């Protein structure tokens, strides 16, 4: 039997998450949505910029995820900023809850994508970076680029 290729189509990414947080672990979670939200996501109309996740009552919820209303949704449209439930295994939720309670850790969604026709959210467990950490990362990236440019010229 041949194995089907899992097609992944990225809907949106939170590029600032890698800049503002030092992400140690990532988890893939499903998300509970209504019909017009799915149609809007197929159009690529979502924003993860200010969103975050929280563990409440043994369940994980995603806050401040903005999914624009579907243009043809009329009265059945959804609230763009409603709280949405994430679908994870119980052991993953317990692990997230334990790590998120530690000082400085947060649950940040890093990207949203379609995988085999289902919408998935990648959640990162991250610790906030200080300003000097951000500067250090920026300097390291610039040094790496300079070295690559230098070696390309020599070839």
Q: Is residue 139 part of a domain?
A: no
pLDDT score at 88? 92
SS3 45: coil
- In whole angstroms, how far apart are CA 37 and each of 45, 77, 98? 9, 8, 31
CB atoms within 10 A of CB 16: 13
Please report whether residue 2 resides in a domain: no
| Closest by Cα among 109, 104, 39 to 74 | 39
Q: State the total domains in the chain.
A: 1
Q: Report d(CA 64, CA 74) in Å as an integer.
A: 23
Cut 0.85: pTM above it: no
For position 8, what pLDDT does the model report?
Answer: 87
CATH number of the domain that residue 31 is part of? 2.40.280.10
Separation in Å, CA 111 to CA 38, 99, 120, 141: 15, 20, 8, 22
Find the domain containing 105 and state its range. 8-129
The residue-averaged pLDDT of 79-87 equals 90
């Amino acid at each position: 039997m041949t194995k089907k290729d899992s097609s992944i189509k990225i809907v949106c990414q939170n590029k600032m998450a890698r800049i503002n947080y030092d992400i140690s672990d990532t988890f893939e979670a499903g998300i509970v949505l209504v019909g017009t939200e799915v149609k809007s996501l197929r159009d690529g109309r979502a924003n993860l910029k200010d969103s975050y996740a929280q563990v409440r009552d043994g369940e994980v919820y995603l806050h401040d995820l903005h999914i624009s209303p579907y243009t043809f949704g009329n009265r059945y449209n959804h609230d763009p900023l409603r709280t949405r439930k994430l679908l994870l295994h119980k052991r993953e939720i317990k692990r997230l809850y334990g790590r998120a309670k530690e000082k400085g850790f947060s649950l940040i969604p890093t990207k949203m994508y379609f995988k085999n026709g289902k919408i998935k959210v990648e959640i990162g467990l991250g610790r906030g970076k200080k300003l000097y950490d951000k500067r250090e990362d920026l300097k390291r990236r610039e040094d790496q680029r300079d070295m690559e440019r230098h070696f390309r010229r020599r070839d």
